[in-house]
Amino acid sequence: MSVLSISGLSKTYAGGFTALKSVDLEIRKGEIFALLGPNGAGKTTLISIVCGIVTPTAGTVIADGHHIQRDYRAARMKIGLVPQELHTDAFETVWATVNLSRGMFGRAPDPALIERILKDLSLWEKRNSKILELSGGMKRRVMIAKALSHEPEILFLDEPTAGVDVELRRDMWNLVRGLRERGVTIILTTHYIEEAEEMADRVGVINKGELILVEDKAALMKKLGRKTLTLNLTEPLAALPPELGEWSLKLKADGNEIEYEFDANAERTGVPSLLRRMSDIGLGFKDLNTEQSSLEDIFVGLVTERQEARS
C-alpha cells in the first residue's frame, strides 16, 4: 500500500536549472526507503517539494491520500522533516524549540510525549540548555526531536548522519528502526552505502534530476557487491592461457596485469581456485589488490546501463 505517491514531479528553478525531471515514485507504508545520489542529484529538491518548502513546476504528490497543495494542512501534518543543515534557534532552549515545533504542526501541547522523545534521544538532561551550548551531535538530535514532536507518519531524513560520529550514527540507526516498528514510513537520503545496506528495505537512485532505478535492497546490494581483483604478474603474457578460461579475466597493462571481477557476496567468489590454478600452471604474480566500486562508480555505471537500455 502506497503512503506517498509522486507522479511527473518536475522542478526548474528561476535561473533555468532543472533539478527534477518528471519523477515518479511510490513509497510503501511502513518501509524504509533510501534515496541515493551524488551531490546536486535532486534529492533535497524532491524532499523540499513534498514538504512544501519548494513549489514544483509540474507534477503531483499525494501524502497518505492528501494532495500536498490542495489539501496541504492534512498532508503536512503527516510529514516530518529532518533537514541536512543544522538549522536551529540558537538562543532558545531545547524544550521551547521542540514544543514550538509540535504546536506549529497543529498538535495540542503534550509535555509527556515531548519528555519521552527527549529521553529517547538522550536530550532530557539538556532540555533547559540553550541550543548554542550544544555539540553538533546534540543539535542533530534536537532536529530529530523537532521532526518527531508532532508524531508524523512519514519522516524524511535528509543526510541524517552526515558529519556525525560513529556512536551517534549507530544511535540514529536504532532510532530509525524503532520508528519503523511503530509504523512510521521513513525516507532517507544518504551518501553512505553501509547506511542503506544497514537500514533500507528499498533503494532509489537519483542522478541529474532523474530517478534512475528503484530496487529492493537485496538486488542492489548484489550490484554493489562487485569487486575487482588485480594481479601484477612476474612475467608479462601475450595472451591469457586457456587453462584460465573458466574465469572471465581481462589482460591489462600490456600483459602485466590480470583483472578479475567477482561478486564479493557470493558463496564462491572464484578467487582461491583462480590463485590455485595459476600456481598449478606456473603463472606467478608479485602483487595483488582488490577494489570495491565507489558509490560514484556505481552511479556512473547505473546511468550508463540506463542510457544503453534506452538506445
List 48, 185, 189, 190, residue binding other proteins (CB under 8 A): 48
Span of 79-87, 254-262, 287-295, 297-305 interacting with other proteins by CB under 8 A? 79-87
List 70, 72, 163, 297, residue binding other proteins (CB under 8 A): 72
In the numeric block, the cell 512519514 is attached to 154
Using rule CB under 8 A, residue 53 touches other proteins: yes
R_g (Cα) of the chain, nearest Å? 24
Span of 71-79, 116-124, 195-203, 271-279 interacting with other proteins by CB under 8 A? 71-79
Q: Contacts with other proteins in 191-250 (CB under 8 A)? A: none
For the beta sheet containing 185-190, the strands, ordered from the edge strand earlier in sequence to the opposite edge, are 79-82, 154-158, 185-190, 32-36, 202-207, 210-216
Span of 105-113, 118-126, 179-187, 230-238 interacting with other proteins by CB under 8 A? 105-113
Nearer to other proteins, 146 or 217 (CB): 146
Of 226, 194, 191, 193, the C-alpha closest to 305 is 226
Nearer to other proteins, 117 or 212 (CB): 117
Span of 1-9, 35-43, 80-88, 244-252 interacting with other proteins by CB under 8 A? 80-88
List 1, 16, 39, 108, residue binding other proteins (CB under 8 A): 108
Size of the site for other proteins (CB under 8 A): 36
Q: Contacts with other proteins in 132-191 (CB under 8 A)? A: 146
| Cross-strand bridge partners of residue 211 | 206
Q: Helices (H) and strands (E) in the chain — how many of each?
A: 10, 14
Report the Cα 2 to chain-centroid distance in Å: 20
Span of 97-105, 177-185, 190-198, 240-248 interacting with other proteins by CB under 8 A? 97-105
CA distances 6 to 47, 58, 189, 197, 206, Å, are 11, 11, 16, 24, 14
CB of 154 to other proteins, least distance (A): 12
- What lies within 8 Å, CB to CB, of 159 at 6+ separation is 84, 189, 190, 191
Bridging pattern class, strands 226-233 and 257-263? antiparallel
CA–CA separation, 87 vs 142, rounded Å? Answer: 10
User: How far is it between the farthest Cα atoms of the chain?
Assistant: 78
List 26, 31, 64, 89, residue binding other proteins (CB under 8 A): 89
CA–CA separation, 108 vs 32, rounded Å? Answer: 28
Nearer to other proteins, 96 or 275 (CB): 96
Nearer to other proteins, 68 or 258 (CB): 68
List 39, 73, 308, 309, residue binding other proteins (CB under 8 A): 73
Where on the chain is the footprint of other proteins (CB under 8 A)?
13-14, 48, 51-55, 72-77, 79, 81, 83, 85, 87-90, 92, 96, 99-109, 146
